[in-house]
Chain A
Amino acid sequence: MATLVLFGLLFLLLLIGVPIAISLGISSTIVIILYTSMPTLVIPQKMFTSIDKFALMAIPLFILAGNFLSQGGAARRIIRFAKAVVGHLPGGLPMSAIFACVIFAAVSGSSPATVAAIGSIMMGAIRDAGYSDKFSIGSITCAGSLGILIPPSIVMIVYGVTVDQSIGKLFMAGVIPGLLLGGGLMLVTYIAAARAGFKRQKMAPLKEIFGSFMEAFWGLLVIVIVIGGIYGGIFTPTEAAAASAVYAFFISLFVYKDIKWKDVPNIIKISATTTAMVMFIIATAMLFAFVLTYLQIPQNLAQWIIDMHFNKYVFLIFVNILLLIAGSFMEPSSIIMILAPLLFPVAMTLGIDPIHLGVIVTVNMEVGMLTPPVGLNLFVSSSISGKSIEEVIKATLPWLFALLIGLIIVTYIPSISLWLPNLIYG
């Protein structure tokens, strides 16, 4: 009964447009009052302590780093470098945009931010070069979703904190799948452009490749701080985040000089509001997860799955479908906070690696950001390009298909995810 009330209320509140964070808070609160003997003091306490975790502090720091870099012209320089490297291939411009998204994903932890940073510069440029909207909008909208798979990743931090797994391992596990999916997206572009008869351009001279690399160098160094720092065991993710936030601030202000002191308060303000949105959901979702555990729902679900003799593979299909559906309606952090505590115990009993599960969840969330009605990337793309959501959705289809194939590969070949973290952490 309590379970029914919990999920029924949540669903009802979401349906009538109550913000996700508040819906989670209200449904958990009502169940706590009706079905438990806990004092109400537990509620504010749980909410406060759930965001009082040092690992979570990496979220505001990575958001800040990403905002300094995208406002500070690092995105523009990364694009120039990407153009020099892959610009000569068929579909060179959209290919460069995807390549730039892959690089930008490695300095930013969020997908919509990646779409905004690369899309606002490249969408117009691709269209002006004579490509259809499909190429200009579809490629970037999909490639931007790599932002949460290639480290740093806000979604992986949320997963790591929710199910108590090493965020460093998760970050490392995202690297190869991220490159694989990025490669897949570029392959689709290559084939589509070759078919559409776009001619190859002349290859950029080595001087331009080198020159643009040097220009982008200071921005690219963030990748070394984050991936190198965690890889080398020098930094914890939160420390890497702190170092990259201050580093990004420093190079944007003093090296690239694209932002002035007077722009700094606004960048901090934008970062603070984005952080608040994510963390407020975490606070109420943790309360929700606490109620779930109290009602023993994850344990019962795990038992049921075992009784049904589902094997690992059937379970993973189920996980993918469930996450894809949820991803169409909600935003990644809240889905993870609600579903990860449910799925995690089952996955453990079936012998699925917790880090591999984290990668599967993240790739699903990527796809979720591209599927209506609530696909954050779609909204960002639509506002940048000025096209309707329907047109944006249509444009993304070929690349979305590639991502789905990538999802299947990543789901059923664990070693793609686990090879790198196992190599590093032994």
Chain B
Amino acid sequence: MLKLLEIFDNLLDKVNIFIMSIMMGIATFVAFINVVLRYVFNMSLTWAGELTSYLFIWSVLFGTAYGFKIGMHLGVTALIQRLKPVTAKRLLTFSLFIVFIFLIIMIKWGYDFVKFNYELEQVSVDLHIQFWIIYLCVPITMIIAAYQILLKIIKIIKMPAEEFSYDLVMKEH
């Protein structure tokens, strides 16, 4: 069972990294092609701006989810670093729990957001893609983010207080 979870986590990270990188790569390429077309061939793709933006946003949201795993989201740790390990551990568990609740609520609201747009049936201006498809990235990435925080909470609870350090819990590669 544990083994299976480990395989799942690895796969999740790989997919996550793949999506955020490939979207960024394509977005950069599209943005560049549009510049070239505009200045060299004096024509431009109307949909290029929109495509670039949405690809980058997908990349950003998947990057955000992955960021929770590697502890990339900066916080003010001055207090936690200064406390005794036992107290610091309790405080960080508490704040991780708050983050977890917020992310769970964001999943719900992200889903509402998609559903609302699904019912509206509006399409984007240039690409003519249904908006709800574009917005799908919100609930999906929030689910991944919440899962990553859940793993951190399990990890910190299992960790003996005397071994506790902020970086040990939050930063992973």
List residues of chain A with CB under 8 Å of any chain B CB. 13-23, 25-26, 29, 40-41, 43-45, 47-48, 51-54, 57, 60-61, 64, 234-235, 238-239, 241-243, 245-246, 265, 268-269, 271-273, 275-277, 279-280, 329-331, 373-374
Q: Which residues of B contact A51 (CB under 8 A)?
A: 57, 60
Q: Which residues of A contact B49 (CB under 8 A)?
A: 54
Instruction: Please list 10 pairs of residues, one from A and one from B, whose beta carbons are closer than 8 Å in the complex, sorted by A's number.
Output: A17-B95, A41-B113, A44-B109, A44-B112, A51-B60, A54-B52, A64-B28, A269-B21, A280-B67, A374-B74
Answer yes or no: B5 CB below 8 A from chain A CBs: no
Q: Which residues of A contact B138 (CB under 8 A)?
A: 44, 47-48
Would A265 and B35 count as touching, CB distance under 8 A?
no
Q: Which residues of A contact B78 (CB under 8 A)?
A: 329, 373-374
Would A272 and B32 count as touching, CB distance under 8 A?
no
Q: B62-120: which have CB < 8 Å to A?
A: 62-64, 66-67, 70, 72-80, 91-92, 94-95, 98-99, 102, 105-106, 109-110, 112-113, 116
Would B21 and A15 count as touching, CB distance under 8 A?
no
Give min CB distance, A233 to chain B, whole Å: 12
Apart from A15-B79, A19-B75, A273-B70, what 4 extra A-B contacts exist at CB < 8 Å? A17-B166, A21-B73, A246-B29, A277-B63
Give min CB distance, B89 to chain A, whole Å: 11
**B interface secondary structure, majority:** helix
Report the separation of the CA atoms of residues A255 and B110 in the bound assembly, to the nearest whole angstrom.
45
Would A235 and B35 count as touching, CB distance under 8 A?
yes
Give B68's nearest chain A residue, CB to CB: A19
Contact among B72, B75, B113, B135 with A18 in the assembled complex (CB-CB below 8 Å): B75
Q: Which residues of B contact A271 (CB under 8 A)?
A: 24
Would B79 and A273 count as touching, CB distance under 8 A?
no
Q: Residues 112-140 of chain B: 1 if any A CB is under 8 Å from the residue's CB, otherwise 0?
A: 11001000000000000000000100100
**A interface secondary structure, majority:** helix
Report the separation of the CA atoms of residues A19 and B74 in the bound assembly, to the nearest whole angstrom.
5
Count residues of B near A (Cβ-Cβ below 8 Å): 55
Which 7 residue pairs are nearest across A and B when measured between Cβ atoms?
A276-B63, A19-B73, A242-B31, A44-B113, A246-B32, A279-B60, A19-B75
Q: Which residues of B contact A61 (CB under 8 A)?
A: 28, 31
Q: Residues 36-53 of chain B: 1 if any A CB is under 8 Å from the residue's CB, otherwise 0?
A: 001100000000010011
Give min CB distance, A275 to chain B, whole Å: 6
Would B99 and A19 count as touching, CB distance under 8 A?
yes
Q: Which residues of B contact A279 (CB under 8 A)?
A: 60, 64
Give min CB distance, A218 to chain B, whole Å: 17
The A/B interface has a contact count, at CB < 8 Å, of 166
Q: Which residues of A contact B98 (CB under 8 A)?
A: 13, 18, 22, 26
Would B73 and A277 count as touching, CB distance under 8 A?
yes
Would B76 and A17 count as touching, CB distance under 8 A?
yes
Which residue, of B38, B73, B77, has the highest number of chain A Cβ atoms within 10 A? B73
Given known contacts A16-B94, A54-B53, A373-B78, A276 and B60 CB-to-CB distance under 8 angstroms: yes
Would B28 and A246 count as touching, CB distance under 8 A?
yes
Would A40 and B112 count as touching, CB distance under 8 A?
yes
Give min CB distance, B47 to chain A, whole Å: 13
Would B32 and A242 count as touching, CB distance under 8 A?
yes
Give min CB distance, B88 to chain A, whole Å: 9
Would B76 and A268 count as touching, CB distance under 8 A?
no
Contact among A16, A26, A272, A374 with B63 in the assembled complex (CB-CB below 8 Å): A272
Q: Which residues of A contact B74 (CB under 8 A)?
A: 19-20, 277, 331, 374
Would B109 and A40 count as touching, CB distance under 8 A?
yes
Q: Which residues of B contact A60 (CB under 8 A)?
A: 24, 27-28, 56, 59-60
Would A272 and B57 count as touching, CB distance under 8 A?
no
Give B52's nearest chain A residue, CB to CB: A57
Would A25 and B102 count as touching, CB distance under 8 A?
yes
Q: Which residues of A contact B94 (CB under 8 A)?
A: 16
Given known contacts A48-B138, A276-B59, A268 and B24 CB-to-CB distance under 8 angstroms: yes
Contact among B91, B92, B110 with A44 in the assembled complex (CB-CB below 8 Å): B110
Contact among B38, B63, B135 with A275 in the assembled complex (CB-CB below 8 Å): B63
